[in-house]
Structure 1
C-alpha cells in the first residue's frame, strides 16, 4: 500500500479526533492513477472518503473492515459529470462562469445563479454576452475586477500565485488555523434517538449537499430547506439531493419561520452552507444540537463574509497557478475542495454524534474550502521532478538527466561515468 494513502487517512482521521488505532481497519484497492494532477488530489479524495467511511462504521458500531475503492472514489468526486437527466448531460458552468484575461493577469467569475450573473454585469456595466464581459474585464486590473464585482454582490477572483496568497491577510489567517475546528457548546444530556437521525439541511451547491447526501445514505432523515424564490440549480439538485426530501420556506414570513423553528427544535443535526453572517438574524442554537458550518474562505479574516465556490478558491489560493501557470491557469481534475470538504463535513458530524452518545452536549464543527485547499497544498508530499534529476559534465557537455529509480541500502546512487561521444571508445573491456 502506498504510504501517502495511509498518511492522508491518518492525518484526516486525527483532525477529526478519531482513535488512531481504527485506521488499521481501512483497506484500499481499485484502479490506480486516477484524478491525475500536480497536487495530491487522489490522496485527498481517498483519505476523505476513508475518514468518512470510518466515522460511519464507528458510529454504527460495526467492527469490520472499511473498504475504499479508487474507482468509486474518483467517480464520486466528479459525480456531476456522470449525471444524465433523460439522457441529457448536465450544465456545469454557465457561459459567464470562466477565466477572463484582465489588463494585468487573469480573473475567474462565477455566474451560474441568476442573481450572481446580474451582479457581475452590473459591476462591469456590461451587456449579457461573452464579448461584452471580456471587453469590460480586459481593460481593468484583475484585483479591481474582483473588488468591484464582490462589492456588487457577485463573485470574481483574481488569479494569485501560492506565494501571493500566503503573503495576503486571508492566506495568513487560513494558514494559522487547523483543517477543521470543533467545540462543545452546552451541557445538554445525551440524546436518545428512537428513529432515524433528523438532519436539517441549509446548504447549497456541492460541498454541503454532498455531506447531507452522505448522511442520507447512512439512514438519516434529511430535509433540505431552500428559499422559495431561489431554488437550487436543477442539475445540481438532481446530483446532490438524492436520498433527501426538500421544502421551500421563506424565513422572513412568520408562518414559514414558525414551521422552520419547529423543525429545528426536533432536529438532531443542522448543516449550513451559506456565507458567514447570512443566517445570523435567525436563532439557530438549540441545546444538544450538532451544528456543522461550511464556508468558502472561513468565517474570519477580511474575506470571512465573502461568498465563494470551489473554482474561485482554487484561483485565489494559487492552486490554479500550480496546476497551470500564471500565464495560463489550470484547474484540479475535479472540484476536489468541494467533494473532499463534503465528505469531511459528514465525517465531522458522525464523529460529533459518536462523542455525544457518552458525553452529551451540543457540538459545533466548522470547515472551509480554503482550509481544505491549504491542507491539500501543504500537508501531503507531491511529485516534484526536480528531486529526482541530477546534473553532470562530460564529453557531451553539461547534462541534466533523471536519476535511476533502482535503489537499495549499500547500492550505488549514480552512474560511474557520463555518456561519451558515440562510437569513440576502443572495442575493449575497461581495464583490459
Structure 2
C-alpha cells in the first residue's frame, strides 16, 4: 500500500506542473492601453486629406482609384485620460482619423502607418454612409468587409447621411462622443414615429441577399448638431439608394408596419381649425393580402390606443364622449393622409415595397409569391391597397371640462 502512494505522488506533481504552465493567461492578447477602440465609421466619396496629397505629390502614396474617404472614430487611452484631467469646453473625448482609397481593408491597415496603436473594431457601434456614395456604389460592396470580418459585431447599426457622413462624427459639446450620440437617438423610438427600428449589419445582409428593398434612417448634420430626418430608400435590385422619404412619409411607413412604439399625431378640428394632439400609447397594423386568380390586392387595418395630450379647441369638453369621438376622427383623418401620401410615393415615384407587403404575401400565399417575387417591386407598384384607421382615446389626462 505504501508503495502505491509513492508511485502516485510523482504523477500528481507532474500534473500540477503542467496545469501551472497552462495558466499563463492570454499570451497572444494586447493590453487595453495599447489599443485604439473603433466606435464609429463614416464613408464618403473620395476626398484626399492634406497628408495624403503630400504623399502622392512625392510619389510615396499607394496606388488607388480614390473612390472612398473613410473616417474612423477612435477612443484611445490617451484621449480618455486627457479628457478626465483637462476637461474643458474645447476638450474632445474622441479622435477622428481619415483615409482615402478604394479598399476598406487597405485604408484600415494604413492607420498602422500613422499610429502605434492598431485599430480594433470589436466595439464598433455605428457606420454612416453618405447619400452621394450610397447612390453611386452598392451597399453590398461598401459593407462587404464588415459582413466578412468577425471583428465587426453583427449588431452594428448603419445610417445614411444627408451630406458628408464624416460630419455626423463631429460635435461641439464637450465630453460628448458622436458615435454614442447616434446610437442613443435610435433608442428614442418610443417617443416618435419618425425613427426606424435599427438596421444592423446582419439585417442589411439579409435584405441584400434577398434583393428586397428597404429603408435606412437618414441623419442630417449641421455645425456639429445632428437630427434624424426621414429615411433613405434602398432599391432591392441595385442595392443603391434610389431616393428619400421625408419625415412625414416615414411616419406613414411606421403606421403601415405598426412598428411604432410611441409618438404624436397632430391634427386640426374640422369646425374651429384648432389644434388637437393625440399621443400614441399602442399601435397595431395588420396587412392582409387578397388573391383572386392573377389579381393581388392588400387591406391594411391600423389600430391605435392613446390619449388626448393637447387640445386647443374652444369650446371643447374632453369629459364628453361626443368631443372625444370628434378628436378620434380628426386624428384618424391625419393618419390616413400620412399613409396615403407615402403609398403614393412608394408605388408611383420609387416603385418599391419598403413596408413589408411582399413578406405578408410570401407568408399567406407562398405559391403566388414564388411567381411574382422576381420582379416584386414592379408588381407592387401596380397593386391596389385599401387601408382603414381606427383610433381610440382612452385617456385625456387630469384636465377636462368645457373651455369657454
Q: Tell me if TM exceeds 0.5.
A: no
* TM-score normalised per structure 1: 0.22
* TM-score normalised per structure 2: 0.23
Instruction: Say which structure, 1 or 2, has more relative contact order (CA 8 Å, 6+ apart).
Output: 1
Structure having the higher strand fraction is 2
